[in-house]
Amino acid sequence: MSILGSSANNPGDTLILVDPEDREIGFLSKEECHRGAGVLHRAFSVFLFNAQNEILLQQRSAQKPLWPLYWSNSCCSHPRRGETVEAAALRRVREELSLHCNLTFLYKFEYQARFEDVGAEHELCWVFAGFADGVVTANAAEIAACRYVSPEDLSAEIAASPQIFTPWVKLEWTEISARHLPAIPARLSASKPAVRSR
């Protein structure tokens, strides 16, 4: 199946449709992918750690149609047509945060979440951890604010105020904190010398 949306000539606005096994089945515009209950497409989420083992969070821009001003993980977006997921994640970290990093793949999962009557996310999401110790320069078109938080404080904040966080970061942090967090510092340590700020 091949589906092309109205923005097929703009690679930044064309998302990769997949089946539940993450097999590519076509392409559709970002706008159409997020209408109604959403159309399943490939995406990624990045959790960046600093030298103090704190996690970089971003508050989504007020201009975002879905979950504006909600707190979320360091970076999340979609690969372009013909682009690997890891290459897309590295590109978006540079574009949104002006950081360079190395990434470690953790896991992937499917989720679906609706935002009021505006639209929805339905994603097959690849989740990465990375190390970045440069100066964050947030892209104001994407991000309202950034802050670092310890893993313990993030768990406490999500438990106390789940309504201020995006649905995907809550799902991802539950999995990361339960299954991946103890090993993340060791897995990222080898990447630290290669990391530079932009």
Token pair belonging to 189: 């340590």
State the catalytic residue, choosing from 33, 123, 125, 172.
123
Q: Are 101 and 190 contacting, i.e. CB atoms less than 8 angstroms apart?
A: no
| 123 catalytic per annotation | yes
CA angle, residues 73, 119, 129, in degrees to nearest 5: 20
Query: Which two structure tokens, joined as six digits, stand for 43?
Result: 């995406």
Q: Active-site residue 172, yes or no?
A: no
Annotated catalytic residue within 33, 75, 76, 101? 76
Phi, psi torsion values for 16, nearest 5 degrees: -95, 115
Pick the closest to residue 75 from 84, 63, 86 (CA basis). 86
Q: What residues are annotated to the active site?
A: 76, 123
